[in-house]
Structure 1
Amino acid sequence: MKVVISGFYGLGNTGDEAILEAIIDNLRDELDNPEITVFSLSPERTSADHNVKSVYRAWRKENKEKVRALRQADLLISGGGGLLQDTYPTKFLFGPLPYYLLIVFLAKLCGTKVMFFSQGIGPVNSTWGKILMKVFANMADFITVRDQYSKDLLHKLGVNRPESIVTADIVFGFQKKEDSSCYNSLPLNGDEKLVAISVRPWFNHTEHYSQLAEVVDSLIETEGITPVFVPMEGSHDVKASNFVLEHMKHGDSCYVLGPDFTPNQYLNFISICKMTIGLRLHSLIFSALTGIPHIGISYDRKVESLLKRSGMWEYSFRLEEINTQKMIKNAQYILTHQNELSVTVEKNAESMRDEALENIRLLKKHFLK
């Protein structure tokens, strides 16, 4: 089977690279020697990292190669992740939403079947975005989404052919390989009470930097933790982590991991922490996947949805509603009751892992010749 995968790949986002790795690994497990081509902004690196063919994803070049790959393919996998949204500006054919839908349109022109794969849909608020969704998203041959909100939004947007099926983020099907590179990069002695911190910029929001600083300072003083910032999107998250450190009294007790580790390496590091406090969705998915209790800060419905499914929503906060004293108390409770909370998280994650692998089973059922 020949498959083309289209998504936010080759741009250094750990969550999206984890999605790609999970899709590729599970396709190879379940299909007989699949031929995989990935549309990537860094095609050489993507090819080297995953032993796949890769074509430059943007429209500036290699458009003939895109058409050739799609014509030869049996299936375009669009996803996973939050591709179809207009949080970032959508202007006619410029922006994430038009890009991914035009790839779908191009695939259909080439006679290739299309699967929206484990996608998180929305938000789609602009009139033009809604029109694009209704016209082009209905061209998909099959759709799986990672949460009920996405399914409901598709119906609201008039995307109802075909019926969408709720599964889970494919990263819950990630195949962890032992790797201690992140830990070994830090001057640690093995006795630390490690807490992973994932912070990101979010448009004009800045208050969360000082709020997190207050929480982390308090936990250093009362719980003796060693905070380690995990930058899930390269220099963007390193910069955001440094904003938090600038507000801290005990910033010299913290570490910031390098921005160039692989998703598997970050996953391995989070798996040895006592707890995660995170904004990035996939830092929380990594935590759930490895049974690590977590406090999420939700800037988007997709984060809140994940936290409800992992069983950690009652300890978490919406970005606009952070209560630092309550977060401190929640973190203290989690550190004290880590073992029992880990059992809950592991149980919920196992259910989501099965739902994530349903994406592959459904792909085989609908598209395998």
Structure 2
Amino acid sequence: MRGTKKIAISGYYGTHNAGDELICASLTMMIRHYIPDASITVFSADPRRTSSMYNVASVQRKNPFAILGALRTTDMLVTGGGGIFQDVTSSLSLYYYLLVICCARLLGKITVIYAVDVSPELKSLNRRLVVWICSRTHMVSVRTEQSRALLAESGMPKERLHRVCDPVFLCNEFPAIHSEQTASSRKKIIWVIREYPRRFADTRSTLMDALSNTCRLWAQKPVDQILIPFHAVEDGRLAEDLEKQSNGCLSLCTWESIHSVVAEVVSAHVVISSRLHGLILACALGKPCVGIIPDARVDGGKMKQISRENTAGIFIEDRDIEPQKLYEVIDTLLNEDQSRYRQSRDQYIRSAKTGCEQFWNATAQLLNR
């Protein structure tokens, strides 16, 4: 490969959302592995923070002049990953990502889409737009079989369509992972609980009661309970409410760097999460986990579909939580031989990495032409 290759990344980054930041960390790691001489620029809502966290260049994602300036000088645009191709709340964010891809194509740049979902729940026009854009990019990878089938049925050439795992599954390869290990005589439970929209106030209240009662059952045990608001803004209020309602049984982890989130989960013994990437991170690090599946109207059923398709864990519907039963599930997991979870993780990741390797090798070849 001759000379430095400039790569721009377009995604939902810099919003203090741990799930998306984990994707960005994994994505930059993969680019540096397969394209060692890459110079990376990330489009971010907080360029200074993104630049510092990942050692990359970064521009404001809402500044069209900065975006166009970066696209003019880049060799490749990588769009992804995660659930960015959605129109549940608004179509505007979807149009933003598609417009950035169109601009890159008009400028004659290589465009690839990495580890996204293409939901059949998209509005008809939006679905046609996504399929049209995907068919005109150089390479597309998706993280669910449903998305792969949808694009394949729409005529996407097989050689340009890849199935990959969610990028967060590759977080076990972060260079700092093994140095984060710390020994402690106390066991640790990590809670990752998502906020609910206001129209689900009753569900939120019921869930809060069940979880706070479960936390209090552990109060007299030699166990540390850490609550991590994965989305600092959206989940922050719920985290504070749950901390108060549990009468001090929980310690709130207010994170600044994604590495501190990883460090907490590395040292955990059990993870309970209603955030998809909290669950995936636990599985990637070989930790026993319990997935709390939110009402499908909250996240479009994404947690249920992706987690059950890609992770090994225990799943409980949010409306079915009983404190004593959840306590017993956690107690069982705490006292199990955790090596089997690491073995399950290793087996899955060996298989999942095949798709990622094929995608990134093909992507690197595009830059070599």
TM-superposed deviation, 1:139: 2.3
SS at match of 2:13: coil
The equivalent of 1:240 in structure 2 is 238
* Alignment match of 2:12 (pick from 8, 27, 41): 8
1:43 correspondence with 2:44: no
The answer for the alignment partner of 2:100 in structure 1 is 103
Is the contact made by 1:114 and 1:142 (CA closer than 8 Å) also made in structure 2? yes
- Distance in 1, matches of 2:319 and 2:340, equals 26
Work out the CA distance in 1 between the residues paired with 2:249 and 2:126. 46
1:292 aligned onto 2:287: yes
Relative to 1, partners in 2 of residues 1:135 and 1:233: Cα closer, same or farther, differing over 3 Å?
same
- In 1, distance between residues paired with 2:290 and 2:164? 23
TM-score for the superposition, normalised by structure 1: 0.84
Q: Secondary structure at the match of 1:151?
A: helix
C-alpha distance 146-269 of structure 1, shift in aligned 2 (>3 A): same
Whether the 8 Å contact between 2:16 and 2:233 is mirrored in structure 1 is: no
Work out the percentage of aligned pairs sharing the same amino acid: 22
Residue equivalent to 2:227: 229
| Correspondence 1:18-167 to 2 at 5 A | 18-58=22-62, 61=63, 63-90=64-91, 94=92, 96-122=93-119, 124-155=121-152, 158=154, 160-161=156-157, 163-167=160-164
Q: Give the C-alpha shift of residue 6 in structure 1.
A: 0.2
1:75 to partner: Cα distance: 1.4
Letter in 2 for 1:86: D
TM superposition shift of 1:341? 4.0
Contact 2:180 2:266 in 1 (8 A): no
Name the CA shift for 1:319/1:277 in 2 (closer, same or farther; >3 Å): same
Q: 1:182 to 1:258 in 2, by over 3 A?
A: farther
Structure 2: tracts of 5 or more residues without a match: none
CA offset digits 1:301-356 (Å, max 9, x no partner): 443323443321xx212345545554333222212214254244433453366247
Alpha-carbon distance in structure 1 between the residues aligned to 2:149 and 2:34: 30
TM-score, normalised relative to structure 2 = 0.84
1:103 deviation in Å?
0.9
Residue by residue, what CA displacement relative to the aligned partner does 1:131-165 show, whole Å, maximum 9, x if unpaired? Answer: 43233333222111122133234456x36356532
Is residue 243–residue 249 contact of structure 2 (8 Å, CA) maintained in 1?
A: no
> Number of residue pairs matched?
350
Change (3 A) 1:128 1:212: farther
Q: Which of the residues 194, 198, 209 maps onto 1:200?
A: 194
Query: Partners in 1 of 2:318 and 2:356 — Cα distance?
Result: 31
Displacement of 1:284: 1.5
11-20 or 199-208: bigger deviation: 199-208
Which of 245, 251, 254 is equivalent to 1:258? 254
Question: Residue type of the partner of 1:133?
Answer: V
Change in Cα spacing, 1:356 to 1:240, as seen in structure 2 (3 Å) is farther
Quote the Cα distance in structure 2 between the aligned partners of 1:79 and 1:354: 17
- How far, CA to CA, are the matches of 1:122 and 1:16 in structure 2? 18
| Residue deviations 1:243-301 (CA, integer Å, cap 9, x gap) | 323443xx3121011132x2222111111111000012221222112111100123454
Q: Which amino acid aligns with 1:74?
A: D
Offset at residue 195 of structure 1 (A): 0.2
- Is contact 2:285–2:342 with CA below 8 Å preserved after alignment? no
Alpha carbons 2:77, 2:109 under 8 Å: kept: yes
Distance 1:274 1:356 in 2: 30
Give the superposition deviation at 1:84: 0.5
Displacement of 1:33 after TM fit?
A: 1.4
Equivalence for 2:329: 330
Report the Cα distance in structure 1 between the residues aligned to 2:244 and 2:250, rounded to whole angstroms: 11
How far apart in 1 are the matches of 2:181 and 2:13?
Answer: 22
Change (3 A) 1:82 1:246: same
Root mean square deviation of aligned Cα:
2.8
Change in 2 beyond 3 A, CA 1:169/1:302: same
Structure 2 partner of 1:347: 346
Q: In structure 1, the residue corresponding to 2:118 is in which secondary structure?
A: coil
- Measure, in 1, the Cα distance between the counterparts of 2:144 and 2:177: 29
Question: Is the CA contact (8 Å cut-off) linking 1:86 and 1:123 kept in structure 2?
Answer: no
Look up the SS of the partner of 2:189 in the other structure.
strand
- The corresponding residue for 1:186 is none
Query: Residue 237 of structure 1: CA displacement?
Result: 2.2
Structure 2 Cα separation of the partners of residues 352 and 239 of structure 1: 39
Q: Indicate conservation of the 8 Å contact 1:182/1:265, yes or no.
A: no
| Offset of residue 9 of structure 1 | 0.9
User: Quick one: which amino acid aligns to residue 287 of structure 2?
Assistant: I
Q: Give the 3 Å change call, closer, same or farther, for CA 147–134 of structure 1 in structure 2.
A: closer
Whether the 8 Å CA contact 1:193–1:274 is kept in 2: the answer is: yes
In structure 1, what is the Cα distance between the partners aligned to 2:32 and 2:218? 43
Instruction: Please give the alpha-carbon distance, in whole angstroms, between the structure 2 residues aligned to 1:161 and 1:103.
Output: 22
CA 1:144/1:339 → structure 2, altered by over 3 Å: closer, same or farther?
same
State the alpha-carbon separation in 2 of the partners of residues 15 and 200 from structure 1: 12
Stretch moving more, 339-348 or 32-41: 339-348
Residue 21 of structure 1 and its aligned partner are, at CA, apart by: 1.7
Stretches of structure 1 that go unaligned for 5 or more consecutive residues are 184-188
